[in-house]
Amino acid sequence: MARLKWAITRVYNLGNTSPVAVSDLVSILERLLKVNAKRSIMKLPRNGDVQFTHANISLAQRELGYKPKTDLQTGLKNFVRWYLSYYSGGKKAAG
């Protein structure tokens, strides 16, 4: 069997395109995980800091026909439920 000397790969950014304040993202995760984050809020802009976050999904749309259907809160709730179940031996969480 012949071995490949190289391979072509692609990275696709999947997500929702609606900008979300980072502080809102943290608040959602705090609620779902039932923890308080250690927040250090500083004046913006600082080099490399972002105030809002969202996904650039243009490549996934063009090449895969990707169309987001899940809002951030629902997606994070589903992810947290999976993560806690997977890493805690089946413990259910995220209400």
Alpha-carbon span 68 to 79, nearest angstrom: 15
**Residue ranges of the domains in the chain?**
20-87
Alpha-carbon span 56 to 88, nearest angstrom: 32
Cβ–Cβ under 8 Å, residues 34 and 84: no
Residue 51 is classified by DSSP as S
Instruction: Please state the pTM of the whole predicted model.
Output: 0.65
Conformation bin of residue 23: beta by default, left when phi > 0, alpha when psi is -120 to 50: alpha
Give residue-wise pLDDT tens across range 4-15: 778 788 899 888
Alpha-carbon span 72 to 75, nearest angstrom: 5
Give residue-wise pLDDT tens across range 45-77: 666 666 667 788 999 999 999 999 988 899 999
